Amino acid sequence: MAEYDSVSKDLIQTYPKDFIQLTFGQDDVEVLDILDTEQNTVDTRHTDSLIRVHIAGKEALIHHEFQTTDDPSMPIRMAGYIIRAIEQHGLPIYSSVIYLRRGAGRRDPGCFTHEVSGRPVVMDYTVIRLSEIEGQEIIDGGPSGLFAFVPLMKRPDRIDSEAWLRHCVDATNALAVDESIKVDFLGRLMILSGLAYDRSLINRILLQEGLMDAIMRESSFAQYIKQLGIEQGIEQGGRQRAIEDILDVLEIRFDLSEAHPLSVRIAAIDDLQRLKQLLRAAIQVSSLEAFEQVVDA
């Protein structure tokens, strides 16, 4: 689930006040700094987000963790993050865990409790389940770093699942923001929606709306795809992984089928470095014809 963590962390670093409002319930918080999330232990640990803020004139930390599935060890994990953050920064801390996938986090108690010699040790944190948040309220609130998460939120009773996803895409596309920001929102929405929707449905909606090319053509999103670890995955998975990634990108962008002659040609390439070059081209070219010219070069 690395791609979902990467999207979430990037958004919270870019729009910290939106997430603080969601989890802390206050908008009179001054963001001072986005802190390094590495915690020095015997085994180096990373929190997902640690923000230094002013609350009522006093400095504090606001800590967020993103979680896709249930984890029985979440309370002790959160306790560890909290203790290490206090030790490292010497500030009070407000912690939250945000569950992205529907149904996840229902059994999270929101606290770690441990008894030592009859003395209880309790550490509380806030549990946020996106599926319980009214998505339409986020849409009605206007541009926000939370827009990409709206498909994972609670939809109005009158709208079915597919119609809700289309509505989220349309609302994002209608935002009165710079085109580059809009494309980034749509790209991240596309990734996060994979937690609740079939990838083929997401691709089909974006293609029907004429948005897929804009998302994939945007240089910042192309760089983002690389950050998700596609090239690293090629190094680890070798030739077959590279071929699969190229075909996936071409299917998303240009609806290329497995039976297409170009798919057969790509599957026959043995040179790993050549496949890496073709993956970059698949992300950046403006048409399937342009990609074929790269293959023929």
Whole-angstrom distance, CA of residue 144 vs CA of residue 155: 18
Q: What is the pTM of this model?
A: 0.74
Mean pLDDT (10-residue bins), the chain, 297 residues: 77 90 85 75 65 91 93 93 92 95 93 87 94 94 88 94 93 87 86 85 76 62 51 60 81 81 88 84 83 88
pLDDT attached to residue 67: 93
> What does the DSSP assignment read for 52-121?
EEEETTEEEEEEEEEESS--TTHHHHHHHHHHHHHHHH-S-EEEEEEE-STTTTTT--SEEEEEETTEEE
